[in-house]
Amino acid sequence: MQFNTQLPIAIGADHAGVEYKDATVQWLKEKGFEVLDFGTHGSSSVDYPDFAHPTALAVEEGRAAFGILYCGSANGVAITANKHQGVRAALCWQKEVAELARQHNNANVICMPARFVALPYALQMLELFMNTAFEGGRHANRVGKIGCA
């Protein structure tokens, strides 16, 4: 794993992604990871920022190694998470995108669209994301220019 394994993993989802979130939490715990589950915890309609903000904040404050967010398209949670300084949330729908998000962008939050990828594929993307290192080099300068503060 390329993240700090001493820290828990933050996760959140709206109603469209709650089943994927719950399955991912179980998958992570079976692998021995501690998880900060910011909800939602049911299928009733909710507002995705209510779950994306606390997930991103845990990453921003260094309380989580990285974050995982699910919603229907993953656009809403990605936009929300990227409002946090130091968070680089990547919308991932293919394994190659998840890998490049880590290698080139040093992404620390993976956002996956529950309505457009199968759960087994989402877990494959997550595993690849978790095990891919940031390449640094020419990419470090670019990543360093992302923040506004």
- Which of 15, 71, 92, 111 is the catalytic position? 71
Sheet holding 9-13, edge to edge: 35-37, 9-13, 67-71, 109-113, 89-91
Element (H, E) at 81: helix 75-81
Q: Specify the 3-state DSSP secondary structure of 25.
A: helix
149 within domain boundaries:
no
Q: Over the stretch 28-82, which tens digit does the pLDDT of each residue have?
A: 999 999 999 999 999 999 999 999 999 999 999 999 999 999 999 999 999 999 9
Q: Is 111 a catalytic residue?
A: no
58 within domain boundaries:
yes
- Which of 15, 53, 92, 104 is the catalytic position? 104
- Does the predicted TM-score (pTM) go above 0.85? yes
CATH code for the domain in which residue 69 is found: 3.40.1400.10
- Give the per-residue pLDDT at 149: 63
Residue 61 corresponds to which tokens in the numbers above? Answer: 């404050």
Domain extent, residue 31, equals: 9-144
1 within domain boundaries:
no
DSSP letter, residue 48: T
Q: What is the number of structural domains in the chain?
A: 1
What's the 3-state SS for 115-126? CCCCHHHHHHHH
